[in-house]
Structure 1
Amino acid sequence: MGLFLWLLAAPLLHLSGEVEGPLVLTTPGLRVEGEGAVLRGKEGHTLSLLAPGIQVRGLKVVGAGPEEDFFEPDAAIYLRGCEGCVLEGVAVEGAPTAVRVEDSPGALIRGLRAEGLEASPGVLVYGSPSVRVEESHLARYMDAIYVEYSPGMRIRGNLLEANTRYGFHVMFSWEVRVEENLSRNNAVGNAVMHGARNLVAGNRLLGHGSPVGYGLLVQDERETGVAANLFQENTLGLVLMDAEGVRVLENRFRRNGTALRITRERGGNSARVEGNAFLGNLYDLLVDDPEAKAQVVGNAYDRASGLPVPHLPTSSFALLLARQPELSLLALSPGVLLWEAAEAQVPGLRLLSLADPRPKLLPEERTSGVLPLFLGLLGGLLWWRWRA
């Protein structure tokens, strides 16, 4: 049944030592100080916050019930009807989900430290506008941060690593800002899907090198921005799928298999690709959508000629590769490399629309690790073809 606290006359609750849960708080505006305290639970949600304005600081929560259902997991901390609530400096261990947020607009999660059980989200936010998740470290969940139907959310300054699917995963939301996070070594990558007017900016998206790994998937999005991010050592850096009006601005693509892939499943794609830097990638641009409308202008490349002539960041071989992934085995052959170098300077009519009219030259970067990314890209293309 849990411990119900109706502390209408006491705005402050001190916890100390070991406390057995579940603990349910229903007092609006209650402040909970738990520095040094450990709350333990074995069934359901270990700590439930069910009133507006509750603040919890410095508490460690260990364990929760066994339910790992992705959308309705047992959580160390559960917020419902908790508008403006604050979790700060909280640690979580041994629970399917660290924090589950429902119908709690304006909640703040800051400084959360949590390690999961690999089957459920770390922070699950549903139907809660303007929630903020900041300066937290989340590892070994399925998705570190999973968001649905939560417009205006802010995900900022977090470390998201070693999760079994995504670092951040935003669904059916709009005007969400994902900024200045480090997301690395997750099994698949990161995704923003089925929304509009979202912004992914200033993040470092690193080391998603599995056959299906990508730094960021932007799928079925409208008027979303991808700006000033670092995409490094991913099988696919940035994937645009059925994305209209996307702005890809001032990103740095470094040592990826393919830096930018534009593909389609059902709808179309339109994007402006401007002011980005492409350095040490196996392929800078791969387009698997013959009707894509991509404006590619004013980017910097380590393969540009340095002359005032258009540069083609893709090739006819890359287009063929998108449809026949098994040809990846020839991608590093001398003949293909020579053909692509020539075609980059004299694009064919079919590819002319993808040529950058104002390219800038970057110094070529000699790097190791191209072969593993090449093999990852081959596996990813084969998987993509099988999926289709």
Structure 2
Amino acid sequence: MRVLALLALLSQALAAPVLHLRGEVQGPLVLSTPGLVVEGAVLRGGRGHTLSLLAPGIRVRGLRVVGAGPGEDFFEPDAAIYLRGCGGCVLEDIRVEGAPTAVRAEDSEGLKVRRLRARGLGTSPGVLIYASPQALVEESGLEGFVDGIYVEYSPGLRLLGNLLQGNTRYGFHVMFTWEARVEGNFSRGNAVGNALMHGVRNSVRGNRLEAHTSPVGYGLLVQDERGSRVLENRFSGNALGLVLMDAQGVEVRGNRYQANGTALRLTREVRSNSAQIRENVFLGNLYDLLVDDPQAQAQVEGNAYDRAPPLPVPHLPASSFALLLARQPELSLFALSPGVVLWEAAEAQVPELRLLSLVDKKAKAVPRRAGLDPSLVLLGLAGGLLWWRWRS
């Protein structure tokens, strides 16, 4: 009996304390009890952060947070839920309304955010993560923020299966981070697109990146990345599908580019690109590849094109006209003219005519779509022209 009593006391000591929020509770609320479990209905914000979590191991679930603010600074906004020093904390099944930022986390290693649903005010990021290694955002929906998810200095980050739409800049925006996994997300209709910048050995895999149609809209910008991978994604209906800028040793493989203005663009700001572009499918794009980097060291091999000849002969996905077009986008009006078509066909067969060496010697043919959507011409023209003006 004494042993059973001791075990019961030990079980009670080890059990996590639970805070039940009943009905509607007025914030702000600050919690600093390690391992606390928070459950409840509605927490309503006033000024500043509505709920602050300042100890490791706190778990919040099933909570609706209404309001926060009014601070809207991009890097230090007022948040519905603010975490600092909250290693191993878990947020599950949270709903956020009327807050500049839904979740803001700093120095919270191993943070997990699952099934968050939030609509923003268009002023700050939806989820802002800083210096929090191994953070996870999973199966969440973020709409109407500046960036759906913005991350800095968080190695081992995982963004898995999120819906990011209608944000006023990026769906996801990952910077200064290494060995991140961005997988299975659906990002659509954000004003600019998505971005992976200044990182090492990151992976963007199996995402749908669609309908980023603003003049400078792109499915994904990969800028100043080292050894990162862009694998098995679907880029469709974007002004620019994938943009590689100063990308070193980046692997681009198994992606599908369909009905974009320009499917893949290589450009430079500081240094030339070196990328392996293999086993991708290009279908129904106005341009498959545009290059604004004559010294690009890209390896283009084994891709499938609806413009490739049916016979196994070298295919030139980026012609000299494409290089000229990258410098003078207004020439898009002549892209489908007979003269340009003959020029590109001649370059594909005669190496001496080429200004670029990006020839796919193992190109495969896929059936061409019946006709070309006229909107692609306008999309490509507007995207190329305003991209050039923006870069200038």
TM-score range, shorter chain: over 0.9
Gaps of 5+ in 2: 1-13
Take 1:231 and 1:266, find their aligned partners in 2: how far apart are those partners?
A: 26
- Give the 3-state SS of the residue equivalent to 1:53 in structure 2: coil
The one-letter code matched in structure 1 to 2:33 is T
1:13 paired residue number:
19
Question: In structure 2, do the counterparts of structure 1 residues 344 and 350 end up closer, same or farther at CA, with 3 Å as the change threshold?
Answer: closer
2:9 paired residue number:
none
- Give the 3-state SS of the residue equivalent to 2:22 in structure 1: coil
- Give the 3-state SS of the residue equivalent to 1:245 in structure 2: strand
Deviation at 1:317, TM superposition (A): 1.0
Take 1:55 and 1:367, find their aligned partners in 2: how far apart are those partners?
A: 55
2:258 is aligned with 1:251: no
Deviation at 1:333, TM superposition (A): 2.6
Take 2:134 and 2:15, find their aligned partners in 1: how far apart are those partners?
A: 30
Deviation at 1:256, TM superposition (A): 0.6
2:6 paired residue number:
none
1:177 paired residue number:
181
- Give the 3-state SS of the residue equivalent to 1:17 in structure 2: strand
The one-letter code matched in structure 1 to 2:36 is L
Quick one: which of 116, 128, 137 aligns to 2:120? 116
Give the percent of matched residue pairs that are identical in Structure 1 and Structure 2: 71
Verify the 8 A CA contact 1:212 1:376 in the aligned structure 2: no
Verify the 8 A CA contact 2:285 2:376 in the aligned structure 1: no
Verify the 8 A CA contact 1:312 1:347 in the aligned structure 2: no
The one-letter code matched in structure 1 to 2:117 is R
TM-score (norm 2): 0.93
Verify the 8 A CA contact 1:102 1:128 in the aligned structure 2: yes
Quick one: which of 245, 269, 274 aligns to 1:241? 245
2:31 paired residue number:
25
Quick one: which of 236, 246, 264 aligns to 1:260? 264
2:199 is aligned with 1:195: yes
The one-letter code matched in structure 2 to 1:109 is V
Verify the 8 A CA contact 1:280 1:366 in the aligned structure 2: no
The one-letter code matched in structure 2 to 1:26 is S
The one-letter code matched in structure 1 to 2:22 is S
2:381 is aligned with 1:375: no
Deviation at 1:349, TM superposition (A): 4.8
Equivalent runs, 1:67-106 vs 2, <5 Å: 67-106=71-110
- Give the 3-state SS of the residue equivalent to 1:381 in structure 2: helix
Take 1:235 and 1:300, find their aligned partners in 2: how far apart are those partners?
A: 21
Deviation at 1:335, TM superposition (A): 2.7
1:309 paired residue number:
313
The one-letter code matched in structure 2 to 1:188 is V
2:362 is aligned with 1:358: yes
Deviates more, 1:351-360 or 1:183-192: 351-360
Question: In structure 2, do the counterparts of structure 1 residues 41 and 378 end up closer, same or farther at CA, with 3 Å as the change threshold?
Answer: same
Take 1:341 and 1:350, find their aligned partners in 2: how far apart are those partners?
A: 11
2:324 is aligned with 1:320: yes
2:68 is aligned with 1:64: yes
Deviation at 1:9, TM superposition (A): 9.2
Take 2:140 and 2:214, find their aligned partners in 1: how far apart are those partners?
A: 25
Deviation at 1:327, TM superposition (A): 1.1
Verify the 8 A CA contact 2:126 2:147 in the aligned structure 1: yes
Question: In structure 2, do the counterparts of structure 1 residues 314 and 9 end up closer, same or farther at CA, with 3 Å as the change threshold?
Answer: closer
TM-score (norm 1): 0.94
| Larger Rg belongs to | 2
Verify the 8 A CA contact 1:111 1:134 in the aligned structure 2: yes
Verify the 8 A CA contact 2:215 2:387 in the aligned structure 1: no
The one-letter code matched in structure 2 to 1:12 is V
**Aligned pair count?**
378
2:294 is aligned with 1:293: no
Deviation at 1:122, TM superposition (A): 0.3
Gaps of 5+ in 1: 1-7
2:200 is aligned with 1:211: no
Question: In structure 2, do the counterparts of structure 1 residues 144 and 220 end up closer, same or farther at CA, with 3 Å as the change threshold?
Answer: same
State the Cα deviation string for residues 132-152 of structure 1 (Å, max 9, x = none). Answer: 000000000000000001111
Deviation at 1:367, TM superposition (A): 5.9
The one-letter code matched in structure 1 to 2:147 is D
Quick one: which of 229, 232, 235 aligns to 1:231? 235
